[in-house]
Amino acid sequence: MAGLNGDPFLGIDDNIEKLQYNNNSKEAIDKEGLVVGIGEDSSNNKNNNQGGEKDMAGNSIHRSGSRPQLDLSKAEIQGNSEERDPTILLPNQTDDISHLALDIGGSLIKLVYFSRHEDQSVDDKRKKTVKERLGISNGNRRNFPVLGGRLHFVKFETSKLNECLDFISSKQLHRGGIDSHHWNSEASANENAVIKATGGGAYKFADLFKERLGVSIDKEDEMDCLVAGANFLLKAIRHEAFTHMEGHKEFVQIDHNDLFPYLLVNIGSGVSIIKVDGDGKFQRVSGTNVGGGTYWGLGRLLTKCNSFDELLELSQRGDNRTIDMLVGDIYGGMDYSKIGLSASTIASSFGKAISDKKELQDYRPEDISLSLLRMISYNIGQISYLNALRFGLKRIFFGGFFIRGHAYTMDTISFAVHFWSKGEAQAMFLRHEGFLGAVGAFMSYQKHGLDDLMVHHLVERFPMGAPYTGGKIHGPPLGDLNEKISWMEKFVLKGTEITAPVPMAPPGTTGLGGFEVPSSRGATLRSDASALNVGVLHLVPTLEVFPLLADPKMYEPNTIDLSDHKELEYWFTVLSGHLPDLVDKAVASEGGTDDAKRRGDAFARAFSAHLARLMEEPAAYGKLGLANLLELREECLREFQFLDAYRSIKQRENEASLAVLPDLLLELDHMDEETRLLTLIEGVLAANIFDWGSRACVDLYHKGTIIEIYRMSRNKMQRPWRVDDFDLFKERMLGSEGKKPRPHKRALLFVDNSGADIVLGMLPLARELLRRGTEVVLVANSLPALNDVTAMELPDIVAEAAKHCDVLRRAAEAGGLLVDAMNNNSLDGSRGNSSSVPLMVVENGCGSPCIDLRQVSSELAAAAKHADLVILEGMGRALHTNFNARFKCEALKLAMVKNQRLAEKLIKGKIYDCVCRYEPAT
């Protein structure tokens, strides 16, 4: 909690009338994403251009001591220039580049640091050709200094400052980070190294940072940082804000165009109330000295607790009726209905202590803590509402580590706002509540360019350790793989149950009604619940919103609503049941070594811990959908270095399917046009039958090979299907009454599984479109997920298929999939007109069985600009997500249902029912 000094009745000097800043500086970014600082400077920075430094091109480099930039003059590569990520020496660099910012408060140190993604770019001629055809060049990439990386959130107790310093030193965060390869990290002798910090500790501990780390603290204004951090988080994080009433947490989608004005209430040691009118435009309008410091200070005196969290835990077991004077105590158990007060309303906090002939030791510490918490929380809520009323504001955001994600505190504040406003005003809380100042300080490094990041550029992940950096745990998240595995091995196994390292309380709520007596108990909620479960923000500036969405604001990817506890429990059971088989496949993919077995066991325990945490509080990691759960599983696999658990299985299924592809193509070519189109759609549905993510399909696999299953599925195809729009699609493709329709210009085919699905299902359909003169773009996962085919694997599959088909060969050559043109030594007897339109492959930007079209790769976004047909195939992409999505162009959704629950909920059908949903352009 930030310690704010000043007027004892305001919490901070109230002479601060209005604080605002404007950032109009212009910076040039070199090809590695580093700030060169070339160009005309803004008026704000002109006075800072001292020394007249020049860059390698002779241009003036404007520098600021408080905003370090790179001096690339006379830069040279050290060692072998052919090395991947060679060290670059910057001999004229006088400012160190920090990837770290801190908010050092009286109780806690909040730390935000950035780590770069490892550069995994490869010289892929195929990809280069596709980019050229789609009009994508490196110059089109957004000019963000940060071209890929992760934003981490960590906190330490201020009393354990040395642990924080050790953490910074171990990761070399004050020198740009140990993962940085773009500049010389030997900066220990650089006396001008600077890191940003805010809060009282930035002044108090400046000398210690200089002594221990050799860096200077550049102190940023606390109010500036709070507002900048809040604005960034509210704009950039889709589910940052939420309400909390009577134990129920509900996320609020904020319209960025309607964000301002709002009231920001920062509850630190004292309380600051800030009216925010825009970016850099705010005014501190009020405050109070009764805040977190009051609760902790009085609580420590009255209960002898040794920590803030211990005091919060006490409150969960308290009963305030033994201390607080209620309306019923005054009126003989009656309420005061005339003025709207019930008998259980608190008339006077600690009021009973006046008449009770008791000493302090006669009262339970738990009751004292709860009464004190309610008194301060209600007071803050009431003062906040009165200020909102004063300025006509409806939304009030509460932040600061006093709240600390404590459900009872949030409920108390919410009720106070609701009570006094008669429901007209709304209290909202922030998932990154305590990190507002640290984020704002981080943003003050202009080189990072976070101001320009949008919500679709940020992806939040939850590695092990991230969900548990709240409450009692005040230290760094787990980083090293061996450290993670060792931690997971400390879990206690009880039969088939796995208990997490943090005690899990049973599901429940406070039953809070506000001032009412029944709300005085909150024993089932943890002090570190809710908002402290923040993950790692992955900054991916190349992600875009899919441009063909009819209305991006109304788009909701998740079809299944997991807010229903029974629904949630069902899917958790499905994922838990699938876990042993997944672990077996993952370990086998690594050769079954002892190391793989150890990592597999750690993965199982880690993912089970995530599920247990989400069962306890489904909203712990933000708004939860089935797609999020599936993605969490894949991320967890990757965290324990299982990069492709189904690699060998996919290869085997691809080979088996490619072996029978020529016969299938020959069969298709002997059909008339209408029969062939129906057979192609049946083929896609039949081939989609097998999915390693479905228990029913895994059981089916044991009864035959993938090809046998595919043939059985095709033989059983009977119309009408459960969702059957084939006739509409046929009319669009073939026309009616002798009228031939125009062919589609470009079709995006979102493919699903490896093996029969892609080879015998989607490739023949793609071939048919190509023959009709339609450009085809195969859209596949960027990263492996289950047995889904990836964009990296697809070109080789197409190349093998093209050996038996001239149509595919010419299209693949035109689309850059065949770098070396193949000899024309294989014909498939095609009777239709051959096509020279391209067949291309792009990655979708994700690594999950599902896809959120609000965050897709820049390649896919570029390919979509000229597309007039979208085909979504498979349960994950067409049913779990996007079943209700609407597009500007025509759309065809194809899938075979392999989950009974999904069949019942979504299409009122049964397992193995088929979905063929055609939607004209909106």
DSSP states along 20-71: E--------B-TTS-B--BSPPPTTTGGG--S--B-TTS-BB--BTTB----
β-bridge partners, 499: 492
520 domain residue, yes or no: no
Do residues 79 and 131 share a domain? Answer: yes
For the segment 663-688, the average pLDDT, to the nearest whole number, is 93
The pLDDT value given to residue 488: 75
Q: Which amino acid is at 20?
A: Q
The strands making up 458-461's β-sheet, listed across from edge to edge, are 216-219, 194-198, 100-104, 108-116, 149-157, 536-539, 458-461
Q: Average of pLDDT values for 405-430?
A: 90
Model confidence pTM above 0.85: no
348 and 379 in a single domain? The answer is no
pLDDT (0 to 100) of residue 676: 96
Higher-pLDDT residue of 879 and 617 is 879
**Mean pLDDT to the nearest integer, 534-542:** 85
Give the residue carrying structure tokens 């247990």: 612
pLDDT category, 679, cuts 50, 70, 90? very high
Identify the top-confidence range among 371-380, 426-435, 567-576, 709-718: 371-380
Residue 332 structural domain: 324-362
Tell me the pLDDT band of 729, cut-offs 50, 70 and 90: very high
Q: For the chain, give the percent of residues with pLDDT over 90.
A: 44
Q: For 415-424, what is the mean pLDDT? A: 90
Closest CA to 419 of 324, 341, 347, 350: 341
The more confidently predicted of residues 88 and 322 is: 322
Question: In whole angstroms, what is the distance from residue 267 CA to residue 401 CA?
Answer: 7
| Percent of residues, the chain, with pLDDT higher than 70 | 74
Query: pLDDT band at residue 211, thresholds of 50, 70 and 90?
Result: very high
Q: Which residue has the higher pLDDT, 907 or 390?
A: 390
- The closest alpha carbon to 620, from 469, 510, 481, belongs to 469
Position 165 in a domain: yes
- Of the three residues 218, 251, 270, the one that is the final residue of a domain is 218
697 Cβ neighbours under 8 A, 6+ residues apart: 689, 690, 691, 898
Domain co-membership, 752 together with 875 = yes
**Does residue 471 fall inside a structural domain?**
no
Closest to 611 measured CA to CA, from 628, 598, 596 = 628
Provide the CATH number for the domain around residue 804.
Answer: 3.40.50.10880
> Are residues 822 and 685 both part of a single domain?
yes
Residue 137 has a pLDDT of 59
CATH number of the domain that 278 lies in?
3.30.420.40
User: Averaged over 353-363, what is the pLDDT?
Assistant: 88
Residue 474 has pLDDT above 80, yes or no: no
Last residue of a domain, one of 430, 464, 480: 430
The structure tokens listed for 849 are 């069985």
Cis peptide before 838 (omega within 30 of 0): no
* Same-domain check for residues 204 and 340: no
Q: Report, as an integer, the average pLDDT of 650-668.
A: 91
Q: Which of 316-325, 435-444, 608-617 has the lowest mean pLDDT?
A: 608-617
- Please state, as a whole number, how many other Cβ atoms lie within 10 Å of the Cβ of residue 687: 29
pLDDT category at 819 given cuts 50, 70, 90 is low
Per-residue pLDDT of 862-875, as tens digits, reads: 999 999 999 999 99
* Interatomic CA distance for residues 412 and 829, integer angstroms: 75
Residues 314 and 340 occupy one common structural domain: no
- Please spell the DSSP secondary structure of 422-448, one letter per residue: TTSSEEEEETTGGGHHHHHHHHTSGGG
What is the reported pLDDT for 874? 94
pLDDT, averaged across the chain: 78
**Contact in structure between 880 and 902 (CB atoms under 8 Å):** yes
Q: Which residues contact 248 (CB under 8 A, 6 or more apart)?
A: 509
Residue whose pair of structure tokens reads 């149509």 in the numeric block: 807
Q: Which amino acid is at 535?
A: G
Task: Decide if 154 contacts 165 (C-beta within 8 A).
Answer: no
Q: Sheet with 395-399: list strands edge to edge.
A: 19-20, 281-288, 271-278, 262-267, 395-399, 426-430, 241-245, 248-252
Mean pLDDT of 703-721: 73
pLDDT digits (tens, 9 = 90+) for 124-143: 677 777 777 777 754 334 44
Residue 297 lies in a domain: yes
**Tokens describing residue 759:** 């080879």
State the pLDDT at residue 801.
97
Q: Kindly tell me if the per-residue pLDDT of 410 is higher than 60.
A: yes
Q: Do residues 884 and 559 lie in contact, with contact meaning Cβ atoms separated by under 8 Å? A: yes
Looking at the structure, tell me whether residues 164 and 284 fall in a common domain: no
For residue 465, being part of any structural domain is answered with no
Identify the pLDDT of residue 53.
38
Give the mean pLDDT of 345-349.
Answer: 87
- Are 266 and 407 within one domain? yes
Task: Say which residue, 540 or 33, is predicted with more confidence.
Answer: 540
Q: What are phi and psi of 15, to 5 degrees?
A: -80, -5
Give yes or no for a contact between 238 and 455, defined as CB atoms under 8 angstroms apart. Answer: yes
Q: Residue 316: which pLDDT band, with cuts at 50, 70 and 90?
A: confident
Residue 65 has pLDDT above 90, yes or no: no
Per-residue pLDDT at 449: 62
Q: How large is the average pLDDT for residues 789-809?
A: 95
The last residue of a domain, from among 598, 622, 639: 639
CA angle 429, 435, 437 (to 5 degrees): 110
* pLDDT band at residue 151 under the 50/70/90 scheme: confident
Asked if residue 154 and residue 251 are part of one domain, the reply reads no
What's the total number of domains in the chain? 5
The CA distance from 253 to 236, in Å, is 11
Q: Is residue 668 part of a domain?
A: yes
Cα separation, 485 vs 494, whole angstroms? 19
In a shared domain, residues 117 and 74:
yes
Question: Is residue 711 domain-shared with residue 819, that is, in the same domain?
Answer: yes
Query: CA–CA separation, 868 vs 748, rounded Å?
Result: 8
Q: Average pLDDT for residues 785-795, to the nearest whole number?
A: 95
Residue with tokens 């959704």: 893
C-alpha span between 372 and 492 (Å, rounded): 37
In a domain, 535, yes or no: no
pLDDT band at 289 (very low <50, low <70, confident <90, very high): very high
Identify which has the larger pLDDT, 146 or 328. 328
The pLDDT score that the predictor gives to residue 34 is: 27
Statement to judge: residues 298 and 385 lie in one domain = yes
pLDDT band at 703 (very low <50, low <70, confident <90, very high): low
The number of angstroms, rounded, from the C-alpha of 558 to the middle of its chain's C-alpha atoms is 15
Q: Does the pLDDT value for residue 493 go beyond 80? A: no
Tell me if 326 sits within 8 A of 396, measured CB to CB. Answer: no
Does residue 831 have a pLDDT over 60? Answer: no
Q: Reply yes or no on whether the pLDDT at 853 is more than 50.
A: yes
Mean pLDDT of 83-93: 38
pLDDT in tens, 512-537: 222 222 232 322 323 333 335 788 88
Q: pLDDT at residue 700 above 60?
A: no
The yes-or-no verdict on residue 9 having pLDDT over 50 is: no
pLDDT at 859: 93
Residue 821 lies in a domain: yes
Residue 186 reports pLDDT greater than 50: no
Taking residue 395's Cβ as centre, other Cβ atoms within 10 Å add up to 19
Cα 62 from Cα 60, distance rounded (Å): 6
Q: pLDDT band at 156, cuts 50/70/90? A: confident
Q: How deeply is 851 buried, as exposed, middle or buried, from its count of CB atoms within 10 A (0-12, 13-18, 19+)?
A: buried
Find the CATH number of the domain harbouring 599. Answer: 1.20.1700.10
